[in-house]
């Protein structure tokens, strides 16, 4: 077990500095353009692939960092560059986590490489869980998966929404209902291979923020996938369903569903994304306050500005510590007895919204224009309190964990 420390080792510092350089030199100069275009920044993704950032090997190295700090450190630096472009670079990772959390070794080895492609032909993947009537309420999911035993195929029907890379992905990971009577316990995840008939892109959303990241509906109409595309395999699914039925009848402990297994693994990483955006806005505000003069002196000389910056920095550091703690706990196998994963995502998300708003206030009228990046950062920060579990859902998870009661 790795010893807990707040000091990055030399290898981690080298990776951090490398990522920071890429974010500063490649991502940040392209941020405003792709935000305006509201398109996937394929050239930037390709550059990330060329240097090894957009690759299975890179994310595997960070994922298996024994301290647990590899992924949050990487997320913070990339999202410091720009949230929309960074999400286009890392969005495939959510689908990959879905396979890692639920798939067999063979499925992991087969499908994750196809999610990324290579530097000459980059691909992306999509994780499809949310639906028009089932966002936070995963128990209301309507997409169905029916097993055709004669052909050893699963038939998927339904509509997914808010899917990062939805419709443009090479590989889609789709969460569907297998047994409706079991509610959220009756869900399973499926791989939809490239060019599978029946899968199409629905509405592409024009968003308030993270506009360089493609977000769309995914429509499934009699989509047939081979039996081996059920993540974990049918034998494991049948066993899990049987246990869920037994526990439902006996009133026993709850069983985690396929979507929640993915989200629990990714929430501290989302917190790290929020920390990166907050830090970026804070740094812009700090530099501005040092150089902007009013009444013959820099505005940072005024307590009203200086105290805001002090609070911003304190909140950012506190958010990072919560993210690092949750990431370390997850890697070292320590249980989230107080919902520490949700705590990290909740606090970091709320911090990003608050800090970016304060940055605009410090820049005054300039902060409200697109001539300065804090306007875009504030728009981007709004998503952190919404996706992968709203702040309200995080509070519900924390409260239920602390109380042991079914708070509604």
- How far is 102 from 189, CA to CA, in rounded Å? 8
How far is Cα 28 from Cα 406, in angstroms, rounded to an integer?
Answer: 44
| Chain position carrying tokens 């992991």 | 108
Pairing of strands 125-128, 171-177: parallel
Q: Phi and psi at residue 199, in whole multiples of 5°? A: -95, 130
Tokens standing for residue 358: 């304060």
The rounded distance, in Å, linking the Cα atoms of 98 and 210 is: 22
| 186 token code pair | 């009756």
What is residue 74's three-state secondary structure? helix
- 388 a catalytic residue: yes
Phi (first) and psi of residue 339, to 5 degrees? 60, 45
Contacts of 369 (CB under 8 A, 6+ apart): 375
Residues 6+ apart with CB under 8 A from 312: 278, 282, 285, 355, 358, 359
Please report, for residues 30, 82, 209, 313, the alpha-carbon distance to residue 24 in angstroms, rounded to integers and kept in the order given.
10, 9, 20, 20
End-to-end CA distance of the chain: 37
Task: State the Rg of the chain over Cα.
Answer: 22
**DSSP run (H or E) holding 144:** strand 144-148
DSSP at 5: -
Annotated catalytic residue, options 7, 47, 388, 392: 388
* Triad 102, 104, 109: Cα angle to 5°: 110
Q: Are 151 and 127 in contact (CB under 8 A)?
A: no
Ordered DSSP codes for 291-316: H-EETTEEGGGSHHHHHHHHHHHHHH
The residues assigned a catalytic role are 388
């Amino acid at each position: 077990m790795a010893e807990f420390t707040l000091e990055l080792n030399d290898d981690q510092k080298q990776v951090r500095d490398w990522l920071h350089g890429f974010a500063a030199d490649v991502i940040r100069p392209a941020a405003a353009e792709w935000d305006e275009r509201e398109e996937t920044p394929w050239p930037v993704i390709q550059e990330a692939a060329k240097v090894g950032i957009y690759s299975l090997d890179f994310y595997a190295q960070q994922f298996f960092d024994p301290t647990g700090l590899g992924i949050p450190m990487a997320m913070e630096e990339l999202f410091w560059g720009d949230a929309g472009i960074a999400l286009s670079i890392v969005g495939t990772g959510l689908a990959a986590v879905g396979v890692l959390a639920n798939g067999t070794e063979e499925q992991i080895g087969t499908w994750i490489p196809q999610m990324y492609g290579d530097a000459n032909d980059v691909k992306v993947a999509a994780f499809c869980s949310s639906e028009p009537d089932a966002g936070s309420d995963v128990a209301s999911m309507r997409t169905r998966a029916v097993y055709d035993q004669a052909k050893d195929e699963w038939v998927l029907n339904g509509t997914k929404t808010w899917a990062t890379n939805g419709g443009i992905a090479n590989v889609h990971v789709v969460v569907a209902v297998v047994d409706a009577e079991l509610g959220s316990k009756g869900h399973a995840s499926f791989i939809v291979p490239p060019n599978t008939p029946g899968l199409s892109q629905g509405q592409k959303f024009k968003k308030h923020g993270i506009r360089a990241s493609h977000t769309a509906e995914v429509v499934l109409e009699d989509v047939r996938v081979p039996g081996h595309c059920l993540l974990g395999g049918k034998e494991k699914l049948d066993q899990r369903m049987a246990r869920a039925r037994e526990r439902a009848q006996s009133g026993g402990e709850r069983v985690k569903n396929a979507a929640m297994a993915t989200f629990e693994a990714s929430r501290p990483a989302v917190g790290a994304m929020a920390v990166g955006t907050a830090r970026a806005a804070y740094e812009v505000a700090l530099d501005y306050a040092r150089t902007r003069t009013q009444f013959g002196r820099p505005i940072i000389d005024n307590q009203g500005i200086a105290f805001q910056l002090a609070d911003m920095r304190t909140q950012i550091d506190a958010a990072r510590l919560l993210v690092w703690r949750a990431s370390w706990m997850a890697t070292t196998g320590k249980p989230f007895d107080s919902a520490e994963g949700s705590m990290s995502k909740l606090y970091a998300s709320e911090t990003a919204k608050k800090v970016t708003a304060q940055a605009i206030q410090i820049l005054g009228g300039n902060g409200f224009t697109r001539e300065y990046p804090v306007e875009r950062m504030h728009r981007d920060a709004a998503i952190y309190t919404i996706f992968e579990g709203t702040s309200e859902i995080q509070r519900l998870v924390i409260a239920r964990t602390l109380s042991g009661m079914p708070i509604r």
